[in-house]
Amino acid sequence: MNTRCPFCGASVMPRSRFCPTCGQALPQSPLRRSASTPIANGDPPVEGALTNSKRLQISGDTLDLRELINVVESSVQWWQRGLSSHAVTREQAARAIDELSQIMRSLSQQLAQGRTTIRVTRRLPALRTFDIACPSCGSGNRANARFCQRCGALLNAAPRYGVGFVQSRALKFHIAARTDTGRVRQQNQDAVYTGEIDLPGQQKAHICLVADGMGGAAAGEYASRLAADVSRAYLERESACHPPLTDEAWQALLRDAVRAANRQIYDAARTDTTRRGMGTTLTIALIVGDRLHIASVGDSRAYLLNLDGVTDDGSPAAQLTSDHSLVARLVDIGQLTPEQARTHPQRNILYRSIGTDPSVDVDTRSEALEPGDIVLLCSDGLVNHVNDEEIVQIAFGEPDPDRAVTRLINLANERGGRDNISVVMVRVEGGRNDERRHG
């Protein structure tokens, strides 16, 4: 949702302070939010058209039939495993599978009725689109901007995002991470890691990750630790010698790193009977210069937060990852509300995870970072108890990232702490104007 410049009439983003076309200072936009402004719960539903290619086409996002079949298969297997290990009763499994079949029947009826559109909830929001970084203040700007929308500086020959290995300025990163067993579980099967990777030319990349293991206490702990170790070592090794130069190449490297972890855990689960069926989620954030590269499998989330707005309609929080869980897909097809999904008994069922299959699909994406951003990674133990609005309020209400992470974990524990809780937070601050070219 764009507004217009009162001086020249050009389109401006709701968060802009200066017109990108004429450079005039803009009146304070009413759309800019403060920490106390409440955010509407859930994404607005959009209509998705069913095309001939058997995909549900949802404005920039897709849900295909293979994914739905995976959801059903994973759900049935999950209950089967629960039954054979006596973790659930036969009645519980029967009731859950009956519920699932009713949901699928409702979906098939919608299709049989000849509906060409199915009501779905859009999963990932449209993020702010920045093509160039201002050489003065480091803020992101659109490709056609002549003046910086944040500081009003002329953007002649401003460095472009995502092209080559260009660092327009020295962004500073304050990183905090913590994992907690919670109030109910005996063991912590989550793993977190934060660290630096040395790149050629005295450059450094920051790596942050969260993995949430499953498959019996010791096995789940082993799987999440192995996923963290293998992917971290792979990224360190490969980017030290041959650092990628484009977003696409960084994403390909991340996918290779996650697949290396997948192979090791899959092999370990096959050869060791005590670890059979183990798996883990894995969400990695890699920060190189002012680019954020994300890879994820499972339901551990990555968020981008900024009080000035991170989406084109000015929302201060955007989830950068899809939850590869049964309940997330049920939200997509309109069978559950996001609020129901948070407490749904089948919310732990993943249809994509690391180590459970010989190969794995890995979601990746790249975004521009700017001063004032917060990148937050977390396991589902946080979001089962704490909603996006509360995450924004605590992340920006507490300037010290260590204390902010602790407050988020404390809040999840106060509300029951049903699962292990892991949070990694990266605060992005502007540095001095520092234009260098490496690689």
Locate 190 and state its tokens: 């989550």
Instruction: Select 302 or 369, whichever has its Cβ closest to Ca ion.
Output: 302
How many C-beta atoms lie closer than 10 Å to residue 382's C-beta? 26
On whether the CB atoms of residues 320 and 367 are closer than 8 A, the answer is yes
Q: How far is the CB of 211 from Ca ion (least distance, A)?
A: 10
Q: Of the two residues 293 and 301, which places its CB atom closer to Ca ion in the complex?
A: 301
Restricting to residues 257-296, name those near Ca ion by CB under 5 A: none
Rounded CA-CA distance 344/335 in Å is 12
For tokens 């962004």, name the residue: 171
| 239 vs 300 by CB, closer to Ca ion | 300
DSSP three-state, residue 160: strand
SS3 195: strand
Residue 384 Cβ, how far from Ca ion at the closest point, in Å?
Answer: 8
| Closest distance of CB 379 from Ca ion, Å | 5
CB of 221 to Ca ion, least distance (A): 12
**Nearer Cβ to Ca ion, position 356 or 379?**
379
Quick check: 409 and 60 in contact, CB under 8 A?
no
- Minimum Å gap between C-beta 378 and Ca ion is 10
For Ca ion (CB under 5 A), the number of binding residues is 4
Spacing of C-alpha 82 from chain mean position:
29
Site string for Ca ion, 401-430 (x = CB under 5 A): ------------------x-----------
Contact (CB, 8 A) for 139 and 155: no
Widest Cα–Cα separation across the chain? 71
Minimum separation from the CB atom of position 375 to Ca ion (A): 20
Residue 175 phi/psi, 5° resolution?
-120, 135
Closer residue to Ca ion in complex, CB, 121/379: 379
96-120: b or e for each residue (b if 16 or more CB lie within 10 Å)? beeebeebeeebeebeeeeeeebeb
CB of 220 to Ca ion, least distance (A): 9
Contacts with Ca ion in 201-220 (CB under 5 A)? 212
Our finding on whether 299 is near Ca ion (CB under 5 A) is no
Q: What tokens does 303 get?
A: 């968020």
With respect to Ca ion, which residue has the nearer C-beta, 379 or 413? 379
Contact of 337 with 282, CB cutoff 8 Å: no
Nearer to Ca ion, 299 or 363 (CB): 299
| Minimum distance of Ca ion from residue 273's CB (angstroms) | 24
Euclidean distance between CA atoms 2 and 11, whole angstroms: 6
What six digits make up the tokens of 39? 């955010």
CB of 209 to Ca ion, least distance (A): 15
Q: Which is nearer to Ca ion, 167 or 379 (CB)?
A: 379
Q: Which of residues 17-76 bind Ca ion (CB under 5 A)?
A: none
Nearer of residues 214 and 287 to Ca ion, judged by Cβ: 214
Closest to 318 (Cα-Cα) out of 294, 337, 342: 294
In the numeric block, the tokens 């260098």 are attached to 436
From start to end of 200-273, where are the E strands?
203-214
Distance between CA atoms of residues 34 and 23, nearest Å: 25
Min dist. Cβ of residue 91 to Ca ion (A): 25
- Interacting residues with Ca ion between 126 and 185 (CB under 5 A): none
Q: Which is nearer to Ca ion, 221 or 380 (CB)?
A: 380
The Cα–Cα gap between 17 and 14 comes to 9
Binding mask 348-387 vs Ca ion (x if CB under 5 A, - otherwise)?
-------------------------------xx-------
Residues lying near Ca ion in the complex (CB under 5 A) are found at 212, 379-380, 419
